[in-house]
Structures are given as structure tokens and as C-alpha cells.
Chain A
Amino acid sequence: MTEDLALKYSAVILVTFIGILAIGMMLVANFLLAPKKKTLEKALPFECGIPASPFSWSQIHMRYYIFAILFLIFDVEAVFLLPWILVFMEPITMSPWVFYEMVFFIAILLFGIVYSWKKGMLKWK
């Protein structure tokens, strides 16, 4: 069994390696073929005609963070759904408890969505 799983994921490493190799070849070809003439104008950041103001650390709006937290919470919930979808119909675990447990679980988190909706957090402002 050990061999099996390690072998399966060795295929993943292999594909990663080949992917990197392939785009590496593309980058090397680009490096060899492309002209390399540096000028001051080319090194400027893109702007719409005006001289670019120096880039500094930009503080982001709170809303991004709220949505990231929401995403994290529902991602974790999805992970809990994963074992459940496979076992809730199996004879060992098939009981109304297991089934309604998950319905309750989803209901609690949907309450979270409703709450943030009411608080106006789902609005992009």
C-alpha cells in the first residue's frame, strides 16, 4: 500500500517537473532569440502617458480581508462535507443522526451568510 500511494504521487512530481521543463525551454528560447536593448523608457512602469509616481506599499481595503475570511470558512466547511458525502448512505453510519447532523451544520453556516448579508458585509462598497 505504501508503494502505491507514493507511486501515485511520484507521477504528480513527474508532471510538475515536465511542466517546469517545458516552460523553462520556452523561457530559454525567449532569452536566446529576443532582442535585449534596455532603455530608460522601457524600464518605466506602465502608465497612461503621465510619469508614474513612485510605487510604495499600498494598503488595501478591509473588504478584501472580509471576503478572504468568508472564503476560508466555507472552504473548511467543504472539507467537512467531503467524508460525509461518501458515508451518509453506508449501512454502518446510516442513521438519521448522521444525516440531520450535516443539514444542521450547513444551516448554521448559512445562518452566517444571512447574518453578514443583513449586516451589509456582502455588499462591495
Chain B
Amino acid sequence: MSGEVIVFTIISAMVLFGALGVVSTKNVGHATLYLLITLGSVAGIFILLLAEFLALVQILIYGGAITIVLLFALMLTRVDEFSSIKDAVQRPVAIVVSVLLLGVIITPFLQETLGGQSLTESNLRTLGHELFTKWLIPFEVASLVLLVALIGAIVVGRDD
């Protein structure tokens, strides 16, 4: 086993550990901590894939912003008043859905043999060239999507 594989195994184990923690704990604060472990470890996997920019963006957007939005969204709820509501009813459905989803994700890996491709370090400049020549229109659509999200949040949070 090369060093890369060992590091990959450790990081993946941490991703899974965090992910299992998020869904198994009932304490929101603990779930946040597990989520941080998972998202940080995913950044580690990006590093192994030589995508430095993606790894840092993962930390910036997911580790910082998304976690805070999630926490605030959870703290908006009234847990103590509706403690009688339990998710037990939905569990069988959840299991079926997650197994199906797992199947969907695994299928491409079973059909194609991966490996043998050499990785090249992704440079921020080459990424920029691609983004602003080939993908100019999707990029502009992204700004509209962001605007829609902003207006949506305002509509949801309005007083009247």
C-alpha cells in the first residue's frame, strides 16, 4: 500500500464517521461538530485529488457558511414544543430511499473500471479559462440562481 492509499483510507473513515454521527445523534450541537468533521475531511479528499481550489472553497463555503445557515435554520424551529413528533414512522421509507440512492451512486463505479488515469494538478488559472470561455452562459445563470435564492429568503422571512 502506498502512502496515498493509507491517507485516503484514514480520511474516508473520518468522512463516514462524521456522516454517521450527524444522522445518529439527536443533539443539534453535536451534529454540527460531526458535520464539520465530515466536510473538513472531504476537503482532505479534494487535496488528494489535487484540487486545491475546491478544497479551500469546501472549507470556506461548507465549513463556514453552510454550517452556519444550517444551525440557524435548526434554531428557528420549536423543538421543545413539539417534542412528541418523532421520525420513527419515516424510518422504513428512509432506509428504502437511501439504499436506492446508494445503488444509483454505485452503478457507474461497477460499470467502468477506474484507475490508470493520471491526475494533473488543477490550476486556478486553467479553471478560470475553462469557466469564462466554455461555460460563460451557465456561469451567468448561476448569478440568477443566487438572486432567486436571495429573493426567496426575503419572501420567506417577510413580516406580513
Contact A75 B61 (CB under 8 A): yes
Contact A57 B79 (CB under 8 A): yes
A79's partner among B7, B61, B76, B119 (CB-CB below 8 A) is B61
Interface presence of A28 (CB below 8 A): no
**Contact status of A82 and B124, CB under 8 A, knowing A59-B77, A70-B150:** yes
Contact A68 B72 (CB under 8 A): yes
Give the size of the chain B interface in residues (CB under 8 angstroms): 51
**Contact status of A93 and B120, CB under 8 A, knowing A66-B154, A109-B146:** no
Interface presence of A124 (CB below 8 A): no
Q: Which of B5-43 contact A (CB under 8 A)?
A: 7
Which chain A residues border B143 with CB–CB below 8 Å? 77, 80, 104-105, 108-109
Selecting from B85-93, B107-115, B133-141, the interface stretch reads B133-141
Bound CA span A115–B151, Å: 8
Contact B147 A1 (CB under 8 A): no
Contact B50 A1 (CB under 8 A): yes
**Contact status of A87 and B129, CB under 8 A, knowing A73-B149, A101-B136, A108-B144:** yes
B128's partner among A57, A72, A87 (CB-CB below 8 A) is A87
Which chain B residues border A79 with CB–CB below 8 Å? 57, 60-61
The residues of A with any CB-CB pair to B shorter than 8 Å are 1-2, 4-6, 9, 56-60, 62-66, 68-73, 75-77, 79-80, 82-84, 86-88, 90, 92-93, 97-98, 101, 104-105, 108-109, 111-112, 115-116, 119, 121
New A-B contacts (17) at CB < 8 Å, excluding given A71-B68, A119-B154: A2-B50, A5-B47, A5-B50, A58-B75, A62-B76, A63-B157, A65-B72, A72-B69, A73-B149, A76-B146, A80-B142, A87-B128, A93-B133, A97-B136, A101-B136, A109-B150, A115-B151
